[in-house]
């Protein structure tokens, strides 16, 4: 009897912890939807609770404030972005023919933006938590360095200054194009996704070539 209790004694706390983690995830997803539809500044704890189908008291049990929600949500966005970057911005993808490279890189990035629209909303808010913005800025800076390195790998004769400018411009084109993608749905969204690739191909092609570089 004693051994049975010892073996199962931790099951209850583990189940409660799992339920708590699921509930927290539901609350964060609801907050993301509210931020995306209303904006971070206009969002309220009550609106987030309603979206989650929870009482305000339940929400406050997990998060003391809207800012605390944004910090945790932003931390998760940054983690997912870091994973996406590491999987897509690789030397192997950089050496593909240009249209294949853009498919390999842009499709996961656009998918992230579509799946997490509140990420961009938080970044654009003047009142977004500084901890989230600072972490994202560090991630963005690291991404710029990675892209510039990959451009230099693909086009070693390109001057460093040109690689730096190309990186900055490519990011700007992506950001503007992705905004258009997010504003639409269905076939119109698909069309803007294709136009984004066309714009980047037209800009990058003369700089880094359209064919797979010889190794």
What tens digit of pLDDT does each residue of 75-120 get? 999 999 999 999 999 999 999 999 999 999 999 999 999 999 999 9
Contact 181, 116 (CB under 8 A): no
Q: What is the mean pLDDT of residues 133-143?
A: 94
What tens digit of pLDDT does each residue of 152-206 get? 999 999 999 999 999 999 999 999 999 999 999 999 999 999 999 999 999 999 9
Mean pLDDT, the chain, integer: 92
Inform me whether the pLDDT recorded for 8 exceeds 90. no
Contact 188, 214 (CB under 8 A): no
Contact 94, 146 (CB under 8 A): no
Distances (CA, A) of 176 to 8, 9, 72, 191: 55, 55, 26, 15
Q: Which residues of 36-67 are buried (b: 16+ CB within 10 A; e: fewer)?
A: beeebeebebebbbebbebeeeebeebbeebb
**What pLDDT does 1 receive?**
45
pTM across the whole model: 0.86
């Amino acid at each position: 009897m004693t051994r049975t209790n010892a073996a199962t004694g931790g099951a209850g706390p583990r189940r409660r912890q799992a339920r708590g983690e699921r509930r927290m995830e539901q609350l964060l997803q609801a907050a993301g939807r509210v931020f995306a539809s209303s904006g971070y500044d206009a969002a309220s704890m009550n609106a987030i609770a309603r979206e989650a189908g929870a009482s305000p008291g339940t929400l406050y049990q997990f998060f003391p404030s809207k800012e605390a929600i944004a910090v945790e949500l932003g931390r998760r966005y940054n983690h997912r972005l870091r994973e996406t970057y590491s999987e897509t911005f690789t030397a192997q993808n950089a050496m593909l023919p240009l249209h294949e490279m853009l498919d390999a890189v842009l499709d996961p990035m656009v998918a992230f933006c579509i799946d997490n629209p509140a990420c961009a909303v938080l970044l654009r808010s003047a009142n977004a938590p500084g901890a989230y913005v600072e972490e994202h800025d560090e991630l963005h800076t690291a991404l710029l360095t990675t892209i510039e390195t990959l451009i230099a790998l693909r086009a070693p004769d390109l001057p460093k200054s040109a690689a730096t400018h190309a990186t900055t411009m490519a990011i700007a084109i992506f950001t503007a194009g992705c905004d258009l993608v997010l504003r639409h749905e269905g076939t119109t969204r698909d069309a803007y996704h294709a136009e984004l690739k066309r714009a980047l191909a037209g800009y990058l092609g003369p700089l880094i070539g359209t064919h797979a570089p010889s190794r």
